[in-house]
Amino acid sequence: MDIFGQLFLNSLQISAAYILFSLGLTLIFGVMKVVNFAHGEFFGLVLLLIAIIVPWLNSPALPLALTYAAAGAVSILATMACGWFLYHFAFKKFQRDMVGSFVLSVGLSLLMQGLFLEFFGGVPVKLPDLIEGNLHILGGAITTQRLVLTLIALCVAVVMCWLIAATKLGKALRAVSEDHEAAMLQGIPYRRIALYGFLIATFLAAIAGALLAPVTVISANVGSDFLIKGFIAIVIGGLGSIPGSIIGSILIAVIESVGGYYFDPSLATLGMFVITMLVLLVRPKGIMGNG
């Protein structure tokens, strides 16, 4: 085993999940100025729904990949519907209200965790592997399915970056993020764009959950485990900044991977918080933050 190759592969697979997760978080903050602590629950909801649907659909007559695809599609749609409902009846009323949205999202997070525990139970579940086998690349080892899912996740992130950078919707999202009043004066429908931003963020959390379903252990509070890392990533990268969230995600994945190898996972986690504090001391807006 070439240790540098292995550390690269570890960083790659860890960062892919964090990028998808933190993109959604930063998008919501950018557009609505809402720090959404319930974001992890959208991610968790998809995983929990897939954990129910896959065993239910699984039969020798249906290929496993198709089972996962069907379960993923249904779960993502259900999560998007949940996101739409919460936006209309809760988040819409607390846009650009940092304190109100903080209380709201923390409350929603706790409520959803409680509901997940009630409906899905607390026992962790591991779904069957989608693709069997391991690959050896650059002297390191990785399971084939992790590599495939990582590449898909990176593709989704690239598409999302393109959408933000090059499409009319992306330009509207960026305009609203920079100055929503000026954007409205230019004829951009702020409320509609905010809804789109929220739904895109929910979709990103949902797709991250769907991609991780075959490789992660699923439990009622799986979302909160990822939420902390996602927040560290966007705080380091700069709240509201898309490139910042990607840089932050890669940075914490590298710290987790390299720190976990040379020291241990606990010290690596500590290292992330130290780096966060240093970044905030030197550049309080984060690496790419501008407002």
Residues in the site for another protein, rule: CB under 8 A? 1, 3, 6-7, 9-10, 13-14, 113, 117, 121-124, 126, 129, 134, 141-143, 216-217, 219-222, 224-226, 256-262, 264-269
Output the smallest distance, CB 140 to another protein, in A.
Answer: 8
107 or 124: CB nearest another protein: 124
Output the smallest distance, CB 124 to another protein, in A.
Answer: 4
The span from the CA of 238 to the CA of 235, in Å, is 5
Q: Give the CA dihedral 86, 87, 89, 91, nearest 10 degrees.
A: 100
188 or 267: CB nearest another protein: 267
Output the smallest distance, CB 50 to another protein, in A.
Answer: 16
Which secondary structure element, helix H or strand E, spans residue 232, and what is its range?
helix 222-237
Type of residue numbered 207? I
The span from the CA of 147 to the CA of 46, in Å, is 21
Output the smallest distance, CB 133 to another protein, in A.
Answer: 10
Output the smallest distance, CB 257 to another protein, in A.
Answer: 5
The span from the CA of 73 to the CA of 54, in Å, is 12
95 or 216: CB nearest another protein: 216
* Residue 229, Cβ density class (10 Å: 0-12 exposed, 13-18 middle, ≥19 buried): buried
50 or 172: CB nearest another protein: 50
118 or 179: CB nearest another protein: 118
The span from the CA of 109 to the CA of 45, in Å, is 11
Q: Which residues pair with 136 in a beta bridge?
A: 141
